[in-house]
Amino acid sequence: MHGEYKVPGGKLVAVDLEVDSSSDPAVLTQVRLSGDFFLEPDEALDVIDTALTGLPVSTSTTALAQVVTESLGEAERSGTLPGPFAMIGFDAWSVAVVVRRALGLATTWDEHTFEVLRPGPLPPRTLAALDQVLTEELAAGRRGPTLRFWDWDERAVFIGSFQSYRNEIDDEGVARHDVTVVRRISGGGAMFMEAGNCVTFSLVVPGSLVDGMSFEESYAFLDAWVLGALAELGVEAYFSGMNDVASPAGKLAGSAQKRLAGGAVLHHMTMAYDIDSDKMLEVLRIGREKMSDKGTPSANKRVDPLRSQTGMARDDVVDAFARYFAERYKTEESVLRPAELERAEDLVRTKFATEKWIHRVP
């Protein structure tokens, strides 16, 4: 079996190995690591190969990395290595990832074809329900990985699965501005979304694509293409904290995730395009708290919309993001299936529109 992994900003790591299935449990044999990385001293390569040989095939990414690190450390302390070891352009975690890829337990972007969905305007609660539906469809093997761009006509605020309703939402502001309150299945913070003022997408991928990654690592991994797309639009952007993307002028976007037991990962992002910050602060209580904590008199100084940075129409921005993604990964245009939309509408009735769900954290 053969696996390869290109370390972001680093070197290529490859491995060739065999599996002894006669053993119970099955174990790794004939492990041979290679690549264009730098490793000192030379003897360290044999230490890594030997450490991995004999490990159960089911060994997790974290455990594989730990074995590599501990084995090199012990070899250094015992004098097996003639000097301190140094891994340059790669690390123990990347070694673990490439082993998992060789075994078919971790996958790369190139191994998947992404179905791109742009179904047009839908009610906000239907959009939230579709996150659950499409993630469950992938987990059940009835649909492949998907990239879905959102469109909506209503004014809405989406709160995270674990946020307190009364701490986040101002009911008077909601009534005044005719806002639909939606609680999504993922965690994270609140999003105020008027029609045309945000760019939002959902990415549904198999867990194998982020195998061995922590939540923090997977956010950056799944959002890396977004930074590339923004750069092509002339927007300087970088990761800020665990799940935000910012520019020198302010926050641009926030991401959230949900992982299902069936092995599917829901990852979505909302980017500010042209936010009415005054209205947002009348609807969201947390917005006022964040402003006062930072001594900032206006949300305009915290959120830097894409419209002001690109001068482009929102639809053109979405087109540019879809095009950038398709140029780098295998994609095919797709549509929502009637059964999926029916399931989403049923979830709206039985879950997303119910007071029990909306106020599940009072």
Q: What is the Cα–Cα distance from 30 to 20, expressed in whole angstroms?
A: 10
Q: What is the Cα–Cα distance from 115 to 120, expressed in whole angstroms?
A: 15
What's the confidence (pLDDT) of residue 300? Answer: 37
Mean pLDDT (10-residue bins), the chain, 362 residues? 87 97 95 97 97 95 94 96 96 93 89 96 98 96 97 95 95 96 94 93 95 83 94 94 88 92 91 89 73 37 72 95 96 97 98 97 94
Closest alpha carbon to 242 in 225, 254, 231, 258 = 254
Residue whose entry in the numeric block shows the structure tokens 């059964």 = 339
Give, for 182, the enclosing helix (H) or strand (E). strand 180-183
Percent helix / strand / coil, the chain, rounded to 5: 40, 25, 35
Tens digits of residue pLDDT in 284-334: 996 455 444 433 333 333 455 798 889 999 999 999 999 999 999 999 999
Q: Sign of the C-alpha dihedral, residues 229, 235, 238, 240?
A: negative
Tens digits of residue pLDDT in 189-209: 999 999 999 999 999 999 999
What's the confidence (pLDDT) of residue 242? Answer: 87
Region of residue 54 (left: phi > 0; alpha: psi -120 to 50; beta: else): left
Which option is the CATH number for 2-102: 3.40.50.150, 3.30.450.20, 3.30.390.50, 3.20.20.70? 3.30.390.50
Q: How far, CA to CA in Å, does 283 sit from each of 93, 125, 146, 238?
A: 44, 18, 32, 28
216-237 residues labelled b (16+ CB within 10 A) or e (exposed):
eebbbebbebbbebbeebebeb
Q: What is the Cα–Cα distance from 243 to 67, expressed in whole angstroms?
A: 30
Sequence spans of domains, the chain? 2-102, 109-358
Give, for 288, the enclosing helix (H) or strand (E). helix 285-293
Q: What is the Cα–Cα distance from 336 to 347, expressed in whole angstroms?
A: 16
Whether this model's pTM surpasses 0.85: no
Which option is the CATH number for 109-358: 2.60.40.1120, 3.30.930.10, 3.40.50.2300, 3.40.30.10? 3.30.930.10
Q: Residue 38 contacts by C-beta under 8 Å, 6 or more apart in sequence?
A: 11, 86, 87, 88, 89
